[in-house]
Amino acid sequence: MDQQPPPFEPSAAAASALPVLRAVAETLDSLGIGTCVFDEADRALVWNRTFLKLFPEHAAHIHVGEPYQANLRRFYQNRLAAGELAAMERYVADGLARHRNQQRPFAFEHLGVRLWAASLPLPKVGRIRIWQVRTPIAGPQGAQILSALGTTPIQDDALFEHVADGVMVTGTDDRIDWVNQSFVLMYDLPDREAARGQQFEWAYRAAWQGQITDGGVLFEAGLATLADSMGFVGAPFELPLPRDRWSRVIAQRSPDGKGYFAHVDISALKHQQRLLQAAERRARESEAILKEKSTLLEATLQRMEQGVLMVSAERVVEVCNRRARELLDLPQELMERRPTVDEVFAYQEASGEFAHTPPQTLSLVRAVDGLHVPHGYDRKRPNGRVIEVRSVPVEGGGMLRTYTDITERRLAEERIRHVASHDGLTSLVNREAFLESLASTAQTARSLGVGFAVHFIDIDRFKPINDSFGHAVGDKVLALLAERMRRIARDGDLVARMGGDEFAVLQYPVEQRDRALGLAYRLLEGISQAMEIESHSLQVGASIGIALYPEAGGDADTLLRNADAAMYAAKAAGRDCVQVYDSGTELDPDPD
């Protein structure tokens, strides 16, 4: 360190920092970085050799405690032209103010060398200033300083050579003066010499030489961009290159008319942009599809023949289509304000919706956890229509409920059941249905301890009617006889056609045997009445066998078999009479 004897005592804090500051100054020296530390009163404390090499005017002058103003005066003494020297004190005052407030690094030129300077406050000490050579400027003084620093001047070209981007320098005639190796690679040039003296368009064309694969669309687009953009200095433009590469060209012109062009490889960026665009397009498409689907769904929901109700996990009715409102007579105002399922239920209860719903079904519908359990039931509405209600829980909570009007289906089912259990000619129940009723009646009678009677009726002398007047007349006779028997039997009695000209009556209850005989004779009498069919005056008779429960049997088959046997006994006894099973005697036609 080249120090003058100190005329002053540094502050205690500055004094204690001195060893560290000297070490720092020494260290920076070894990196070729000049430094000078000032105390809080802007007096020189520590500096290094590089500082003196960069600012040789201070050598042999600067000393510890020297005010920064003295330093500045020497600096300006060398820099200012003779005419400017009068304003030197102003420069010094400005310089001092800057020194105290500088926060950011700045560049300036001194003795032919471009320097980077930084000035930072040192708490409790003062301020440190450091300088580093930036770009050397040719000139004898600069060369001297650089040689004193032991630094070799760096050539502009060599600097650019290490840049990954392509660099192109053009002359005032817009022709290429110099390009770096990255430029040569980017545009597939044979070497950098080939580019010298050419216009950039030549390099661009060279890049595409023998590489056009898409009919030249990209190449032509690139040429057009080039023609448009080369005139605008500073506006970056993008050029497509073969093999899916792209370069972004950024131009800068110096006042002397030279052009400096950076060619940045943006292929990866473009690739990412394309992926992003494709993803955006796909997202837009799926959004459109989703929208279309939900519109379709909405339209379908509204047009459906089935009522649909969707309830959220929070028990709010989120969806109630038009058909559901119609089927259940739900007011639109109620459903539009997104009621809870409980509010809807309360409305329905108040309006008598569940008047025909069995209590156990209703309690299931009402159950709080009704949303979590799949269930279904058929609801007969106050207006007589039958609605099939089906509920299924949906994932994530809530429930989907459908309402189907099954009134017609129910009627059809009933018709089918009727056809299956009734005789088409007489509309009486058929043999199978009669046997079923007989079996259940036997069961009921057993549990209640009551009696009943089975009458088996075979028409006498029916065949000759068929033979003489034809089947159609025979049919009409059978239908008329059935009608007569139905009228004679009481409402609770069941009259059946067992097949051919055989009929049966289930008489329930029968407390006394005479009640059974009474009905049998009334039937016999009714059957025997003359009839007028298609202008024919006809008459038949009947043989009737009676089986009494429980005497003649405890089950349907036995009772029917025994009634049949009694009927045969009546037939054998000469027809037109009644036989009670096991009685063995013909009964008085008029017991009363």
Ligand X SMILES: Nc1nc2c(ncn2[C@@H]2O[C@H](COP(=O)(O)OP(=O)(O)OP(=O)(O)O)[C@@H](O)[C@H]2O)c(=O)[nH]1
| Chain residues that interact with ligand X, rule: CB under 6 A | 425, 458-464, 466, 471, 474-475, 478, 500-501
Determine the Cα–Cα distance for residues 521 and 359; give it in Å rounded to an integer: 47
Q: How far apart are CA 346 and CA 56, in angstroms?
A: 101
Q: Can you tell me the distance from the alpha carbon of 37 to that of 285, in angstroms, rounded to the nearest whole number?
A: 66
Q: Whose Cβ is closer to ligand X: residue 465's or residue 552's?
A: 465
Q: Which residues of 276-309 are buried (b: 16+ CB within 10 A; e: fewer)?
A: eeeeeeeeeeeeeeeeeeeeeeeeebeeeeebbb
Q: In residues, how long is the chain?
A: 592
Q: CB–CB of 505/488 below 8 Å? A: no
Is the CB of 29 or the CB of 501 nearer to ligand X?
Answer: 501
Q: How far is the CB of 428 from ligand X (least distance, A)?
A: 12
Q: Which residue has the tokens 């930084």?
A: 118
Residues facing 588 on adjacent strands: none
Q: Which is nearer to ligand X, 251 or 433 (CB)?
A: 433
Picking from 485, 493, 495, 454, the residue whose alpha carbon sits closest to that of residue 581 is 454
Smallest distance, Å, CB 545 to ligand X? 13
Closer CB to ligand X, 452 or 462, in the complex: 462
Q: Give least dist CB 510 to ligand X, A.
A: 26
Shortest Å, Cβ 423 to ligand X: 9
β-strands 375-380, 386-393: how paired?
antiparallel
Task: Give me the amino acid identity at 468.
Answer: S
CA angle 418, 423, 424 (to 5 degrees): 90
Closest distance to ligand X from the beta carbon of 410 (Å): 31
What's the min distance (Å) between Cβ of 500 and ligand X? 3
Whose Cβ is closer to ligand X: residue 66's or residue 460's?
Answer: 460
The pair of structure tokens assigned to 513 is: 């045997």
In angstroms, how far is CA 307 from the centroid of its own chain? 24
Per-residue CA distances from 3 to 7, 43, 44, 64, 510 (Å): 11, 13, 10, 6, 145
Q: Rounded to the nearest whole angstrom, what is the least distance from the CB of residue 548 to ligand X in the complex? A: 23
Q: Which residue has the tokens 């009696």?
A: 451
Nearer to ligand X, 195 or 504 (CB): 504
Nearer to ligand X, 475 or 586 (CB): 475
Q: Considering the complex, state which of residue 404 and residue 466 has its C-beta at the smaller distance from ligand X.
A: 466
Nearest approach in angstroms of CB 509 to ligand X is 30
End-to-end CA distance of the chain: 158
Is 119 within 8 Å of 99 (Cβ atoms)?
A: yes
CB of 406 to ligand X, least distance (A): 35
Residue number with the smallest Cβ distance to ligand X: 474
Min separation Cβ 463 and ligand X, Å = 3
Query: CB-wise, 467 or 588, nearer to ligand X?
Result: 467
What residues are paired with 453 via a beta bridge?
A: 507, 548
Is the Cβ of residue 376 or residue 470 nearer to ligand X in the bound state? 470
Q: Could you give the angle at the alpha carbon of 478 between the alpha carbons of 476 and 480, nearest 5°?
A: 70
